[in-house]
A and B are shown apart, each in its own frame.
Chain A
């Protein structure tokens, strides 16, 4: 019996009971669910079951193989960590929503066919929006609404694509789809929305910072990683993805630098990290796909850790703006330390986990001769360190002392962060212990060669130097201090200016575009209202005579068609 139960059902069905529980019992139950699910998945090994037929198509409810194996484990771990972090959440909707959300993510990556994928795809969308709404208030509600529309839109695209694909190929099996197959482009766009492709990414940076302090932790773990998995399954080796991924690594950096809301900075850095994964999928070699999967795994850990540390700051101070925080290391030293572990991981310090997975992707780019892409990724690596590795901990915990004195984060949060930090350290220090053996393909890559280590350290140190230089010269927004010249500064200042200017113009253009589109929608709606409103032409109660007129018209149409 147990062996035929889809692992996704554990958390989704388990969530039903949560609203009826209180206190310690609820805590124990909620934490037990992801662990039970994990145990179930681990006990299964690689398997395929749950075949049914629907509308003449063969469906496979569960498929665990090399590619989906790690994702299934990962989502259970992430759900557990997130739930520990959210123990103090006062919201009654958050826990069940998070469980359903995590369960849907598990279901989506273990779906063996496109129809099952679509169902979980929609559950993901609907359940996750409650994590945004749980913060309550007008801003969250609106951001959640925008988020929901985009997510449902992605689902509609996916359904449309599946229909075309199934109709043309006669199969709904979820395997390699490819851009050339009919409907392939639409399906990829649907995945792309959830994977935050450039231009399709705004929902992410819009909604995540508006969620609850713990909601962002869940949000950061699931939706985008499911999309990465789906891309890896369906579109591995599509050259277009290489360039899309490279663009994703680069453009958010400009935004992240000028952003003040630290959780939004993390949102941008998330797109940047996703870029590495998408790029790896696009390259499509065994090494690159390994890199994408490994990086997805690590990203959930360290990005979760960063979101948790910022969530803890938000929880204690009620504020998350870089300009208002600072000096918190005095009152929240443990959080600060854990945050810096996450920062070092995302910046790919050697012996931290970002290093062992990002190297796979970048190595693959070089082997396959994508030199320009490699340079873009290199630039992005420096940028990550700059805005996520330094900016986040610096503005929150150091910088000028804001005078805020709060208590250290509660124990539950510290435990959650510690678990994430330990796991990411394990992956960073001993990648061969757990991470590499479970990747889709065999790993022969050696990340810790001296050339590579030194190269990475150089990037990091010069990046750090640049930050210090900019900070001291007062060129770094938003603070102004005395000027201290350095040889590095000459190179960095115009570049930084350019970056800032680019970012700003991008932002104005973005705003203008949005206003224009907004106006268009408003005008269209007004026009539609004239015709369709409660007093509109189409909605009025017309006298019987008008119907007779229509009857005559329609009869005329009927007769005309046959006599013409």
Chain B
């Protein structure tokens, strides 16, 4: 059984999806989705344990030996990403049960769960596979189902948002497949480990460099790096609340993983940071993303959009860690993947609770909610503090490593920008907190505390974002181990 863990990771949600679509009962579909999500987390944790004890786990699909057959290959890096996705899925899926029932048409609910499970399959597949074309396939699976999920939002603008995401996402996927094609042309291999061996011989060829460029742009679009983030704010703002919480905490994280895997494992860190000057290209974009998108977030009036722009800014932090080109920087990147998933998940879920009760997340509609929905808003405050990077929250841990990494490189201005941007985060979080706690309630009494089915998952993530902020040892150790794996080609 344990020998088949890598394939089970994908198989469970993949098989559950069509069953969900066939089921008539929304309840049965929900139960199946939750069960499948929990199973994936269990599998992901088992995999992480195995990788920790036994090193790299390789699995040949159908018994075909790599590099001919498709290989699933799990090391510290993707075991970590699998755990992130699994955790978020298993917390968000019970939340979905309540949230979706109020936001999605009843007869579409089984289909909704099918789409959700497919999206989960795609994200897990990207993370688990060791085959580059397989990555593209899973990317399409996750993207197509994501478009469908977003389009199920209550407002009609969800449709245009989903369509726009579809066009932009397809452009990104096309770029990625072009890049993969060029790599195949040059090496005749699609296996990641194999590619990593073959590529150094053809490093100097123009085709490989062009392939690098296409892949880079494609990944940047999928992970919503400024200025390729334009699809994200609307998609997050208009999707159903549970979908936003799920996607914000997983989709961009997996895209970041793709970037790390391709550029640091396949092409190799020396090639990326040496020949291609990846760090110098990404650094300015990351910094602009951090500052500019935080400022946009400050001035938003729709809280979900505010959080979406904050996500773009946070992706800036993630990419900044990468562009520091050091183990510390990458540790920060990997930590922030996990930490941001926790806090942004909690924040979006808190907003989902607000939508559930009052149907709006306009900042004016939230006046006085601090008293009407104390637990919901308290979760928001916890997530917000973490976003700001207050000590004893997860946000502090990843920012600490980011600043350490910047100082290691001697990039003082970068450290200053990171600190100043925390102040911007304080401003946009504070605007919501001030409205919710300092202004009197003006609504019609609909705003009462959210049901426990929503609150509980929200608080699981909120509590986790404190727990892992206080007891950061295990996450830091895992992230650092993974960062070492990625930087293994470099001396540091």
Contact = CB atoms under 8 A, between A and B. Distances in A.
Contacts of A122: 390-391
Contacts of B56: none
Given A122-B390, A160-B416, A542-B230, A558 B295 contact: no
B415 to A, nearest CB: 7
Given A118-B391, A536-B296, A555-B214, A544 B167 contact: yes
B301 A160 contact: no
Given A551-B217, A555-B217, A167 B404 contact: yes
A541 B234 contact: yes
Contacts of A533: 299
A490 interface: no
Interface stretch (B19-27, B205-213, B444-452): B205-213
Interface string A457-468: 000000000000
Given A550-B228, A557-B281, A558-B216, A538 B415 contact: no
Contacts of B172: 551
A547 interface: yes
Interface in B374-431: 390-392, 400, 403-404, 407-408, 415-416, 419, 422-423, 426
A445 interface: no
Contacts of A548: 168, 171
Interface in A117-176: 118-119, 122, 141, 152, 156, 159-160, 163-164, 167
Given A544-B168, A558-B213, A156 B234 contact: no
Q: Interface extent on A, as a size class?
A: 35 or more
B281 A561 contact: yes
B158 interface: no
A531 B228 CA distance: 17
Contacts of A532: 292, 295-296, 298-299
Interface string A300-316: 00000000000000000
A159 B419 contact: yes
A471 to B, nearest CB: 45
A47 interface: no
Interface string B313-357: 000000000000000000000000000000000000000000000
Contacts of B416: 160
A551 B228 contact: yes
Contacts of A559: 209-210, 213
Given A122-B390, A554-B217, A554-B228, A55 B400 contact: yes
B8 to A, nearest CB: 36
B175 interface: yes
B230 A546 contact: yes
A156 B216 CA distance: 35
Interface residues of B, number: 51
B320 to A, nearest CB: 16
A76 B202 CA distance: 71
A561 B280 CA distance: 10
Most-contacted residue by chain B among A122, A557, A562 (CB, 10 A): A562
B221 A547 contact: yes
A534 interface: yes
B215 to A, nearest CB: 9
B171 A539 contact: no
Given A122-B390, A562-B209, A539 B228 contact: no
Contacts of B423: 152, 156
Interface SS, B side: helix
B231 interface: yes
B168 A558 contact: no
A529 interface: yes
Interface string B206-244: 000110111011001100000110110110000000000
A119 B217 CA distance: 41
B300 interface: yes
A531 B415 CA distance: 25
A555 B415 contact: no
Interface in A264-322: none
Contacts of B292: 531-532, 538
A547 B228 contact: yes
Contacts of B175: 551, 555
Contacts of B295: 528, 531-532, 538
Nearest to B237: A541
Contact of A558 (B275, B281, B404): B281
A119 B469 CA distance: 13
Most-contacted residue by chain B among A152, A156, A164, A539 (CB, 10 A): A539
Contacts of A141: 438
Contacts, number: 106
A562 B275 contact: yes
B276 to A, nearest CB: 6
B402 to A, nearest CB: 11
A155 to B, nearest CB: 10
Given A167-B404, A546-B230, A539 B309 contact: yes
Given A156-B423, A551-B228, A163 B407 contact: yes
A494 interface: no
B277 interface: yes
Nearest to A556: B213
B168 A547 contact: yes
Given A156-B419, A167-B404, A529 B214 contact: no
A160 B227 contact: no
A562 B213 contact: yes
B164 interface: yes
A23 interface: no
A543 interface: yes
B275 A119 contact: no
Given A167-B404, A167-B407, A551 B221 contact: yes
Contacts of B309: 539
Interface in B77-96: none
A159 B426 CA distance: 16
Contacts of B408: 167
Nearest to B407: A167
Given A119-B391, A156-B423, A548-B171, A543 B407 contact: no
Interface string B136-159: 000000000000000000000000
A557 B167 CA distance: 22
Contacts of B227: 550, 554
A55 B400 CA distance: 9
A156 B276 CA distance: 35
Contacts of B392: 119
B262 to A, nearest CB: 13
Contacts of B212: 558, 562
Contact of A163 (B277, B390, B403): B403
B419 A534 contact: no
Contacts of A538: 292-293, 295-296
B352 to A, nearest CB: 22
B277 A164 contact: no
A561 B296 contact: no
Contact of B220 (A163, A164, A528, A554): A554
25 contacts: A55-B400, A55-B476, A141-B438, A160-B415, A160-B419, A164-B407, A533-B299, A534-B299, A538-B293, A539-B296, A539-B299, A542-B230, A547-B168, A550-B227, A550-B230, A551-B175, A554-B216, A554-B217, A554-B220, A558-B216, A559-B209, A559-B210, A561-B281, A562-B213, A562-B277
Interface of B: 164, 167-168, 171-172, 175, 209-210, 212-214, 216-217, 220-221, 227-228, 230-231, 233-234, 275-277, 280-281, 292-293, 295-296, 298-301, 309, 390-392, 400, 403-404, 407-408, 415-416, 419, 422-423, 426, 438, 476
3 closest A-B pairs by beta carbon, nearest first, are: A558-B213, A544-B167, A532-B295
Interface of A: 55, 118-119, 122, 141, 152, 156, 159-160, 163-164, 167, 528-529, 531-534, 536, 538-539, 541-544, 546-548, 550-551, 554-555, 557-559, 561-563
Given A542-B230, A555-B213, A555-B217, 11 more contacts: A141-B438, A152-B426, A163-B404, A531-B292, A536-B296, A539-B299, A539-B300, A550-B227, A550-B228, A551-B172, A561-B277
